[in-house]
């Protein structure tokens, strides 16, 4: 279970923690595809302790139509963000902006005493991650990074199995996560916005290796590649990585923006193996294939809403004054690995990582289950796989 901690003293001018028993009022900042397809509709299934109180965007059409669609009382442009933070009308923000904006919008929320649930990757550099965590701690506000799989049954069950010893000593992790990003204007393909395959989907593979091995890598190696395609003028098409963990365990993965959609990972131990496929999706059933002693069994985990659980959990952390897992430290550790992988790909050599501090790992107590949602109406937003 996530660690319980005493709340930091409230800084001058910062709002006190909300009273228990009431709902946390959220502003969703950024109304792109992930916000519309998953975050906004999730509030209906998180109504126990969370409510959608405001929308922030510079697109007036999105603001008008989505506010009506979801019954949201307050809308704001990005220029009005600070006024919204100071208004007393919200308790927390869900930041669903391009990666390079996570730092700025988190710092501004923290300085206003507003709690932060930020999409992953946490930021584009480890230094930015440290600044985000430091400011939130200084201001006495909660910071959680939106690792939805830390609350999802199939991945939590995988971690429990691997660490039960039933597979023996887990020696090997291997993962593949691929998709076609067909829109050349998509932010995932823009270097200045913090795009790139490692930041966007490679982070899932990195995070899974870390919570399955329950440890941090000591050195990494990576190679990137791109085919002659205008989509990949600024960022890599794909990346393959190798990470060495304590105990001479090896984790490898390949992530691509230019291959057919798929996600899987496999953990091989001295007594058996676990394959999860699909592994990382939020709109499909996930599946385990476990082989121990020559016997194989399968288990299907029906798809559910993976975003409402984050809202429910983070709201509980605010109301009950608990330190969230995944914390800012969890986000920082992934970003430091991503930076090291890019450095390795550039120089063509192994990159060693300094020893990492202790971090909480997800466990089965964090599981929150909600049924799947119907596909919502989108307003001027499209999936990465859609052509521009």
Which pLDDT belongs to residue 7? Answer: 33
* pLDDT score of 295: 98
* Closest by CA position to 110, among listed 139, 134, 76: 139
More confident residue, 207 or 4: 207
Cβ contact 283:304 at 8 Å? no
The percentage of residues in the chain with a pLDDT greater than 90, rounded to a whole number, is 91
Token pair belonging to 194: 């913090």
Handedness of CA 244, 356, 280, 377 (dihedral sign): negative
Model confidence band, residue 3 (pLDDT cutoffs 50, 70, 90)? very low
Residue 60 has pLDDT above 60, yes or no: yes
- Residue 159: what pLDDT? 98
Query: Using 50, 70 and 90 to split pLDDT, how confident is the model at 387?
Result: confident
The pLDDT, as a whole number, for residue 11 is 42
Quickly state the pLDDT bin for 102 (edges 50, 70, 90). very high
User: Cα 341 to the chain's mean position, in Å?
Assistant: 19
Asked if pLDDT for residue 10 goes beyond 90, the answer is no
For residue 16, pLDDT beyond 90: no
Whole-number pLDDT of residue 82? 99
Catalytic residue among 204, 265, 280, 313: 204
Model pLDDT, residue 18 = 57
Strand order, beta sheet including 92-95? 74-76, 50-56, 24-29, 92-95, 115-118, 143-145
Q: Is the pLDDT of residue 5 over 80?
A: no
pLDDT at 12: 38
Q: What is the DSSP letter of 9?
A: P
**8 — pLDDT class (breaks 50, 70, 90):** very low
Tell me, yes or no, if 204 is annotated catalytic. Answer: yes
Has residue 303 got a pLDDT over 50?
A: yes
pLDDT digit string, tens, across residues 312-342: 999 999 999 999 999 999 999 999 999 999 9
Of 18-22, 56-60, 123-127, 318-322, minimum mean pLDDT range: 18-22
Check residue 21 and give its pLDDT: 63
Structural domains for the chain: 24-148+307-327 (3.40.50.720), 153-301 (3.30.360.10)
Reply yes or no on whether 387 is catalytic: no
Q: Write down the pLDDT at residue 290.
A: 99
Lowest mean pLDDT among 263-272, 297-306, 353-362: 353-362
Mean pLDDT of 137-153: 98
- Judge whether residue 73 has pLDDT over 50: yes
CA distance linking residue 108 with residue 104, whole number of Å: 6
What is the pLDDT confidence band of residue 93, given thresholds at 50, 70 and 90?
very high
Cβ 25 vs Cβ 51: under 8 Å: yes
Per-residue pLDDT band at 386 (split at 50, 70, 90) = confident
What are the tens digits of pLDDT across the range 218-252?
Answer: 999 999 999 899 999 999 999 999 999 999 999 99
Q: Which of 62, 120, 142, 153 is catalytic?
A: 120
Report the DSSP beta bridge partners of residue 116.
93, 143
Q: Which of 224, 234, 231, 233 is nearest to 258 (CA)?
A: 231
């Amino acid at each position: 279970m996530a660690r319980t901690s005493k709340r930091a003293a409230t800084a001058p001018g910062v709002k006190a923690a909300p009273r228990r028993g009431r709902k946390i009022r959220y502003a969703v900042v950024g109304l792109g595809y992930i916000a519309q397809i998953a975050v906004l509709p999730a509030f209906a299934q998180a109504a126990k302790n969370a409510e959608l109180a405001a929308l922030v965007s510079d697109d007036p059409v999105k603001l008008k139509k989505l506010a009506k669609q979801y019954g949201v009382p307050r809308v704001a442009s990005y220029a009005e963000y600070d006024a919204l933070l100071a208004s007393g009308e919200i308790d927390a923000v869900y930041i669903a902006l391009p990666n390079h904006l996570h730092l700025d919008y988190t710092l501004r929320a923290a300085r206003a005493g507003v709690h932060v649930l930020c999409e992953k990757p946490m930021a584009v550099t480890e230094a930015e991650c440290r600044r985000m965590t430091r400011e939130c701690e200084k201001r006495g506000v909660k910071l959680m990074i939106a690792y939805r799989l830390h609350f999802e049954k199939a991945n939590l069950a995988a971690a429990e199995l691997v660490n039960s010893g039933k597979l023996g000593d887990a020696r090997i992790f291997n993962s593949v996560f691929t998709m076609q990003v067909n829109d050349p204007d998509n932010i995932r393909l823009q270097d200045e916005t913090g795009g790139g395959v490692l930041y966007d989907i490679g982070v899932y593979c990195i995070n899974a290796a870390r919570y399955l091995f329950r440890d941090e890598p000591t050195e990494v190696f990576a190679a990137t590649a791109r085919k002659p395609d205008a989509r990949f003028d600024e960022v890599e098409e794909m990346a393959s990585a190798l990470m060495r963990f304590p105990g001479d365990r090896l984790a490898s993965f390949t992530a691509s923006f230019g291959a057919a959609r798929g996600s899987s990972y496999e953990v091989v131990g001295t007594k058996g193996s676990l394959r999860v496929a699909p592994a990382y999706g939020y709109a499909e059933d996930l599946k385990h294939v476990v082989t121990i002693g020559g016997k194989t069994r399968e288990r299907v985990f029906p798809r559910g809403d993976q975003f409402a659980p984050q809202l429910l959990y983070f709201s509980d952390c605010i109301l009950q004054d608990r330190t969230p897992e995944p914390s800012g430290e969890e986000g920082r550790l992934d970003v430091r690995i991503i930076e090291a992988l890019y450095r390795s790909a550039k120089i063509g050599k192994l990159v060693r990582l300094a020893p990492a501090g202790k971090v909480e790992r997800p466990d089965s107590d964090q599981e929150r289950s909600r049924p799947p949602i119907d596909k919502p109406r989108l307003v001027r937003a499209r999936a990465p796989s859609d052509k521009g």
